Structure 1
Amino acid sequence: MSNQFFQNIQLSGGDSDDDLNWNGGTVLERAKPKLKKPPMYKVIMLNDDYTPMDFVVEVLCNFFRLDPESATRVMLKVHTEGSAVCGVYTRDIAETKAAQVNQFSQDNEHPLWCEIEPDDEGEGEDN
């Protein structure tokens, strides 16, 4: 092999995890992608006239990890205003939590229902 071959290998640098690479004597800087926060979704609990309040508090504590006092406040908001936000998550997590609550309610023969909707408050942020 010629000396030219070895010089090219040394100059090109090969694959490296460094931020800078040498390529034929020119410094190349790796582009760092600009990351954007994923869109967030609210899990909204809807009021009904049949589900016991203690069951709603249990759901809020178990599925949304609220302490009993916070869960009671959310439950009362659902009861008096017709709905309340239980939490804000990425889409997959929000869909999963709503589905879990809906299934748990159905399994326990209660009509309690959650749905999701986009969280408009998080829009417009650049990071």
Structure 2
Amino acid sequence: MSQTAIKPRTKAETRTERPRLHKVILHNDDYTPREFVVAVLKAEFGMTEDHAHNVMITAHRLGSCVVGVFAKDIAETKATRATDAGREMGFPLLFTTEPED
């Protein structure tokens, strides 16, 4: 009997997992002017006037509203820039991120 090495013919398949998405959330406050919130939503998230107004009203009525869902880095950058825009004007405008379920 000869000794032969047997190699399996199956190859391991590598799968790239999609990055986990994060929600950007707008939190309502009683001090930031509505027009300013709409302007920030338009500038940072590329929303139309109507869409930005609807998001702002939803956050006002419910206390918070999901603005959009992005990759983690993008979500954190957009939330930080939008929050900083409010801070620069002296408003307590707050955007946060959390993982999407």
TM (norm. structure 2) is: 0.85
> Identity over the aligned pairs, expressed in percent?
41
Q: Which runs of 5+ in 1 are unaligned?
A: 1-27, 121-127
Q: Residue in 2 aligned with 1:63?
A: 44
Structure number with the bigger relative contact order (C-alpha 8 A, sep ≥ 6) is 2
Regions of 4+ moved over 3 Å: 28-32
Q: Residue in 2 aligned with 1:119?
A: 100
Q: Residue in 1 aligned with 2:69?
A: 88
Per-residue Cα deviation, 1:15-36 (whole angstroms, up to 9, x for no partner):
xxxxxxxxxxxxx998663122
| SS, match of residue 44 in structure 1 | strand
Q: Which runs of 5+ in 2 are unaligned?
A: 1-8
2:90 to 99, 109, 126: 109
Aligned letter for 1:42? K
- Between the aligned partners of 2:94 and 2:76, the Cα distance in structure 1 is 12
- Between the aligned partners of 1:32 and 1:85, the Cα distance in structure 2 is 37
Aligned letter for 2:45? F
1:74 correspondence with 2:55: yes
| SS, match of residue 98 in structure 1 | helix
Aligned letter for 2:47? L
Q: Residue in 2 aligned with 1:6?
A: none
> Based on CA coordinates, which of the two structures has the bigger radius of gyration?
1
Q: Over the residues paired in the alignment, what is the CA RMSD in angstroms?
A: 1.7
| SS, match of residue 37 in structure 1 | coil
| SS, match of residue 82 in structure 2 | helix
Aligned letter for 1:46? H
Matched residue pairs, number?
A: 94
TM (norm. structure 1) is: 0.69
